[in-house]
Amino acid sequence: MKIIIVKDYEKVSDKAFEIMKEVVSGNPEAVLGLATGTTPLGLYARMIADHEENGTSYARVKAANLDEYAGVGKDNPNSYAYFMRKNLFDKIDIKLENAHIENGMALNADAECKRYAELLANMPRDIQVLGIGSNGHIAFNEPGTPFDSVTHTVELAESTVRDNARLFDRIEDVPRKAFTMGLSEIMQAKKILILATGANKADAVYGMIRGEVTEQLPASVLRKHPDCVLICDEAAGSRLKN
Ligand code: GLP
């Protein structure tokens, strides 16, 4: 894994944007794997600004998101579908029918997982953007998820519910179940960009890079990927220095 440590969140976003821009400029039909969470917001803001200022077009780009809360509809402000529209899709020229995400309201969860897995199999991602959970999860692949997993539903770890509670009015409102892209599907992307910022990610980043490659720390699977770049700020990378 290539490791880039920069000063702060803004620099992480700048570097991530540089790599994203290279992919999209090089291939106007690129397929992007996108992530939610607060970490990629700076990247998305730069994609929007670049679209507005330089006309970089996403009209032929396709996107697939990592995960979605179960039981939360796409028009609910807490859904990841809503998050993506608000923070990126509504502000660039991507066609919404080309921007895919699991349907949190699917009545048959198994059928929905199968549908999404088939879709992913037919749209290999040129680049996958990832954040990392403080427990080392990627997407909603919690510790213990098999490396060969495909799209599945998951009971969220207590620590994830606590971490994500900051985005809800009350902790009781945080959904306990989610749909997530599996680890083997994440690994299929040609290039992976994992972003980590803030001191609360330092242990997960350290474990991912210096610990064992183990299903107990899902992000460690990325060490097996031939083209994965970690971009982190000094706080998240603090334990890598010694
Ligand atoms: C959620 C998402 C992950 C994301 C993580 C970290 O659990 N499912 O994809 O990486 O949060 O979020 P943040 O970037 O806000 O720290």
Output the DSSP codes for 61-130.
-EEEESEEETT--TTSTTSHHHHHHHHTGGGS---GGGEE---TT-S-HHHHHHHHHHHHHTS--SEEEE
135 catalytic residue (yes or no) = yes
Ligand 1 atom nearest the C-alpha of 178 is 8
Question: What string of pLDDT tens digits covers the 242 residues of the chain?
Answer: 999 999 999 999 999 999 999 999 999 999 999 999 999 999 999 999 999 999 999 999 999 999 999 999 999 999 999 999 999 999 999 999 999 999 999 999 999 999 999 999 999 999 999 999 999 999 999 999 999 999 999 999 899 999 899 888 899 999 999 999 999 999 999 999 999 999 999 999 999 999 999 999 999 999 999 999 999 999 999 999 86
- 3-class DSSP state for residue 163? helix
137 catalytic residue (yes or no) = yes
Q: How far apart are CA 32 and CA 84, in angstroms?
A: 13
- The catalytically annotated residue of 98, 103, 135, 141 is 135
Question: Residue 228 belongs to what H/E stretch?
Answer: strand 228-233
67 catalytic residue (yes or no) = yes
CA of 9 relative to ligand 1 center, distance in Å: 15
pLDDT confidence of residue 167: 86
Q: Which residues sit with their C-beta closer than 6 Å to ligand 1? A: 35-39, 66-67, 131-133, 139-140, 160, 164
CA of 64 relative to ligand 1 center, distance in Å: 16
pLDDT confidence of residue 242: 65
Q: Give rounded-to-5 percent helix, strand, coil for the chain.
A: 40, 20, 40
pLDDT confidence of residue 241: 81
- Hey, which of 163, 176, 231 would you mutate to test ligand 1's pocket, going by the most ligand atoms within 8 Å of its Cβ? 163
Whole-model pTM? Answer: 0.97
CA of 140 relative to ligand 1 center, distance in Å: 8
- The catalytically annotated residue of 102, 142, 163, 233 is 142
